[in-house]
Structure 1
Amino acid sequence: MTSDTSSAVAGARLESAAVNHLLEESILPVSIQQRPIGALGFVWIWIGIAVIIATFQLGANGVAGLPLPQVVGIILVANLVLALLMTLTADIGTEHGLSFSVYLRAPFGIYGTHLPSIFRGLIAAIWFGIQTYLGALALNGIVEYLSGFSSWPLWYLVFALVQIGNTALGIKAVEVLASIAAPAIMAISVWMYFTLDVLANTQGINIWTFVGEQEIAPLTLFLANVAFWSTLAIDIPNITRYVKTESGARVFVRRNKNIFVAQLIALPLTQTWIAVIGAASFIAAGDWNPINVIQGQSEGLSLIVLLALVLLAQWSTNNAANLIPAALTFVNAGAPYIKYPVAVLLTGIIGTLAMPWVILDNLFAFLFSYGAFLSAIGGIMIADYYLIRRRRLNVPELYRAEGQYRYSSGFNLAGILAWALAGGLAFFSGSWAFVVGFAAGLVFYYLLMKFWVLKQHPQAEVRAVDGDHYLATSVGVNWVHDPASGGFRRIKTEQLALNGNEEVS
């Protein structure tokens, strides 16, 4: 080990005697041996995430003024751009096995991380409530059709508890649900498309040649779609740290090959397809929500199948996109006392208390309000991970209260100031909010770190001559926590399968 690495390990051991408020099992680095999700599993997860009600409206907004083929092209390209950006942040999970909140201790400080991470956690909790409410309405519709009994609050409670229980079981349970739900969702969505196409044809309308009368700027539609997944663009490491990767793969594409398949293919194609259905619904019936359109004409099995789509879509999205990210931020804030299952339950409670049925009436104002500040976090992450640290992290120090990431009393002022300035600029930038927030966050953070903070708070991985000592997957090693000593060891991947006792020298 290098002297820097040795001191980090020793420091973590010295602090183990006291309660470590930065450490809890669910937010420890995930080793190569603990990553169960393959390429197909991640594809199923992304399909499940991408099928949400709001996507229908993106497609409908586009065809209100543009031909459907042009809308398809714009949405597809926008999601490819977003997917590329998301792959950059995904490497934090692939390389180091770290969650979003723990990683933010590097650019924001061990206490400063709570400002952006809890902000993201609350947004995710609210989205859990919104999705659960929509699923409860669908479940209530099925039960009411079959029995005449109607009580959406009851089904909200039941649906919420089922999702919480499923997610609390861990990432493998989430993958299993996605592998069942995603194929079913896609099959039902194909049926929805043809149902809407037939409805349009009966009125003499060809959905692929229809042109709306509103004025829609292609750039506005593009920017709206790029900003749509700003939440997962920053906290995707929460999921990618569980995706299988090749130990020792230094080449970025090779290391992230299982990430590319899902994010560069599954996400753009699914998002575009669901937007097409929303567009078809708008063209055929003047309503962006195909659920309303088809439900008004359906009965029997077709009605049940339609509502089952709504239920599965909300469930699969909530698990990966809302419950897991929110729960990990709450664990990070309450470690070691708040455990992962408790944090998942807390997410459900917060999401319900936010009264999502009220927020849903002002959904896009809600999206705009938080999206500006999330985009700034994305820019800060890219600047910190690639430009400042060059993908290297002093992982043991992330779990030390008195370590290098303490900065000024636990806060990295470069991260805090960059977030406030960039987020504020983005908030007042209209449809350009995501671009402005991301670019400003990146530039402000880089300049503040380079010419101010790094001079006062040197970072071992930044000044290291041999950066391999601060890499993990790329060099075939893993940071493994030792509960007995409270410290961390760098262990070769091949040794994990044997006895896990050999430290890297």
Structure 2
Amino acid sequence: MISDTNSAVSASTPANGRLNHLLEESILPVSVKQRTISALGFVWIWIGIAVIIATFQLGANGVAGLPLLHVVGIILAANVVLALLMCLTADIGTEHGLSFAVYLRAPFGVYGTHLPSIFRGLIAAIWFGIQTYLGALALNGIVEYLTGYSSWPVWYVVFALMQIGNTALGIKAVEILAAIAAPAIMIISIWMYYTLDVLAHTKGLNIWTFVGNESITPLTLFLANVAFWSTLAIDIPNITRFVKTSSGARSFIKRNKNIFVAQLIALPATQTWIAVIGAASFIAAGDWNPINVIQGQSEGLSLLMLLTLVLLAQWSTNTAANLIPAALTFVNVGAPYVKYPMAVLLAGVVGTLSMPWAILDNLFAFLFSYGSFLSAIGGIMIADYFLIRRRKLNVPDLYKADGQYRYSSGVNLAGIIAWIAAGGLAFSSGAWAFVVGFGAGLVIYYLLMKLWVLRVHTQQELAAGTGDKFLATSVGMNWIYNKNTNAFSRVRTEDLSTDMGRPDL
């Protein structure tokens, strides 16, 4: 086997014999040969993620003051812009096979990472609770229609356990669910559109020429949609580290080709389509939620189709967008004691204790509040990964408590200060929150690192200059942890066995 032995470092059991609290199998780097999600599989995952209840309201808010055709163009453009940003953060998973929380050890420190990553993990867990509650209502509706029995709390528990079990089985189980759910969701959503269109025509309305009388600007709608996926814009490496890629592909486009169709086409198209349905519902019945509208008029097969859409949509979104991110952040903070299946269960419990049925009544205030601080993390990630480190990472030191990412007692003050300052600015910026948070996070972090932190704390990937020692996929190498030697090494892709570096996830 050919490997870069110069990169080998102790990572699991230090000389004092204590366990390494930065290392657990599910958050190890994923080797190229363990990346199983195809381009089509990633498309199915994104379609499943994009169909969520809140998207209906985005479309309805738009047509309250703008023609539907304008709304479609604005939402499509906003999601393309967001997808371009997401393609940048996705490269962290593609290049190094790293999860979001582990990567944040670079800009925030090996312990400082817990502040932003747990913040994101808690948001994901809460979203799991919200989506599970909506799915439980649908499941209860199906059972009540067929049997007469009604109890949504019972179905909440059942639905939650189904999702937790599916996600705990690993990324392949998530991909299989998405491949089943996504086509079914799209077929049922087309039926929903035509149902609402017919309803609008019976009232003498044309959904494509209707213009509401409320005041909304194209810019406001654009910014709201850009901010909508701020969560996955930052932690998409959790998924892209499992997407197939070409080893040795130095070109950014070639290396990430299997993510482009999903993020640049599937996400914007699906998000826009679901927003159109929300707009059609608002026009036809004055209610942004088409589920309420159609459920009030449907029976038999139509009702069951509608409720099946809700159930599949919440399930497919929860597994990839909420349970996996939450679980990995909980593993990151609880390693090596908290294993991935245990973390998935913990995410479910936290999401339930958040009382999601109450949060749903104030959904957009909730979105605005956390989106401000997540956008700042996105700016910090771009500044750190592309502008400062130029995609190079000393990955073995990400798993060392006394390595270069220790900074000041395990915390990089540049990251923490930039996050709090940029998040605070974003929170007070109204509709511009995402733009302000992202821009301020990028600039403040970059300046603090260049003018302060890097002069005090040496970063080996920067000291190495223009060499390839700290790159991985793009130079045909993989970061591999050897349990027997408790060390990392860089191994050529052609020398990998299929089980090397295999994470639990």
Normalising by structure 1, report the TM-score. Answer: 0.97
**What's the CA shift for 1:13?**
6.9
Report 1:413-432 matches (<5 A).
413-432=413-432
Which residue does 2:14 correspond to in 1?
15
Which residue does 1:280 correspond to in 2?
280
Which residue does 2:215 correspond to in 1?
215
Structure-2 change in CA distance of 1:179 and 1:221 (3 Å): same
Give the residue type in structure 2 aligned to 1:448: L
Distance in 2 separating the partners of 1:474 and 1:278:
42
Which residue does 2:450 correspond to in 1?
450
Give SS of 1:22's match.
coil
Q: Deviations over 1:426-445 (max 9, x none)?
A: 00000000000000000000
Q: Deviations over 1:404-425 (max 9, x none)?
A: 0000000000000000100000
Give SS of 2:479's match.
strand
CA contact (8 A) 2:7 2:490 kept: no
Q: Deviations over 1:325-379 (max 9, x none)?
A: 0000000000000000000000000000000000001111111110000000000
Report 1:213-292 matches (<5 A).
213-292=213-292
Are 1:92 and 2:64 counterparts?
Answer: no
| Identical-residue share of aligned pairs (%) | 79
Distance in 2 separating the partners of 1:413 and 1:167:
35
CA contact (8 A) 2:481 2:488 kept: yes
CA contact (8 A) 2:31 2:500 kept: no
Which residue does 1:83 correspond to in 2?
83
Q: CA RMSD in A?
A: 1.3
Which residue does 1:184 correspond to in 2?
184
Distance in 1 separating the partners of 2:452 and 2:260:
36
Which residue does 1:37 correspond to in 2?
37
Distance in 2 separating the partners of 1:220 and 1:321:
25
CA contact (8 A) 2:235 2:325 kept: yes
Give the residue type in structure 1 aligned to 2:14: E
Give SS of 2:480's match.
strand
Distance in 1 separating the partners of 2:279 and 2:230:
23
CA contact (8 A) 1:392 1:467 kept: no
**What's the CA shift for 1:10?**
3.2
Give the residue type in structure 2 aligned to 1:36: T
**What's the CA shift for 1:465?**
2.4
Distance in 2 separating the partners of 1:436 and 1:209:
34
Which residue does 1:196 correspond to in 2?
196
User: How many pairs does the alignment contain?
Assistant: 497
Which residue does 2:366 correspond to in 1?
366
Which residue does 1:74 correspond to in 2?
74
Distance in 1 separating the partners of 2:227 and 2:37:
27
Give SS of 1:122's match.
helix
Give the residue type in structure 1 aligned to 2:203: Q
**What's the CA shift for 1:499?**
9.7
Distance in 1 separating the partners of 2:403 and 2:107:
14
CA contact (8 A) 1:379 1:437 kept: yes
**What's the CA shift for 1:18?**
2.6
CA contact (8 A) 1:15 1:400 kept: no
Give SS of 2:490's match.
strand
Q: Deviations over 1:4-46 (max 9, x none)?
A: x866523437727430000000000000011010000000000
CA contact (8 A) 2:75 2:225 kept: yes
Normalising by structure 2, report the TM-score. Answer: 0.97
Distance in 1 separating the partners of 2:183 and 2:481:
38
**What's the CA shift for 1:60?**
0.2
Distance in 2 separating the partners of 1:390 and 1:38:
27
Report 1:165-180 matches (<5 A).
165-180=165-180
Are 1:102 and 2:105 counterparts?
Answer: no
Distance in 1 separating the partners of 2:151 and 2:205:
38
Q: Which shifted more, 320-329 or 198-207? A: 198-207
Give SS of 1:468's match.
coil
Which residue does 1:407 correspond to in 2?
407
Give SS of 1:244's match.
coil
Distance in 2 separating the partners of 1:332 and 1:256:
26
Distance in 2 separating the partners of 1:498 and 1:34:
7
Distance in 2 separating the partners of 1:376 and 1:10:
32
Report 1:304-453 matches (<5 A).
304-453=304-453
Q: Deviations over 1:137-183 (max 9, x none)?
A: 00000111111100000000000000000000000000000000000
Q: Deviations over 1:182-207 (max 9, x none)?
A: 00000000000000000001111110
Are 1:58 and 2:58 counterparts?
Answer: yes
Which residue does 2:152 correspond to in 1?
152
Distance in 1 separating the partners of 2:35 and 2:258:
12
**What's the CA shift for 1:270?**
0.2
CA contact (8 A) 1:425 1:436 kept: yes
Are 1:294 and 2:291 counterparts?
Answer: no
**What's the CA shift for 1:489?**
1.2
Distance in 2 separating the partners of 1:11 and 1:177:
38
Give the residue type in structure 2 aligned to 1:458: T
Are 1:138 and 2:138 counterparts?
Answer: yes
Distance in 2 separating the partners of 1:59 and 1:420:
32
CA contact (8 A) 1:108 1:416 kept: yes
CA contact (8 A) 1:55 1:278 kept: yes
Distance in 1 separating the partners of 2:498 and 2:272:
45
Structure-2 change in CA distance of 1:404 and 1:136 (3 Å): same
Distance in 2 separating the partners of 1:40 and 1:95:
20
Give SS of 1:439's match.
helix
Give the residue type in structure 2 aligned to 1:50: A
Q: Deviations over 1:257-306 (max 9, x none)?
A: 00101000000000000000000000000000000000011000110110
Which residue does 2:48 correspond to in 1?
48
Distance in 1 separating the partners of 2:337 and 2:327:
13
Q: Which runs of 5+ in 2 are unaligned?
A: none
**What's the CA shift for 1:467?**
3.0
Q: Which shifted more, 488-497 or 29-38? A: 488-497
Distance in 1 separating the partners of 2:80 and 2:134:
28
Distance in 1 separating the partners of 2:423 and 2:486:
37
Distance in 1 separating the partners of 2:427 and 2:462:
32
Distance in 1 separating the partners of 2:372 and 2:471:
32
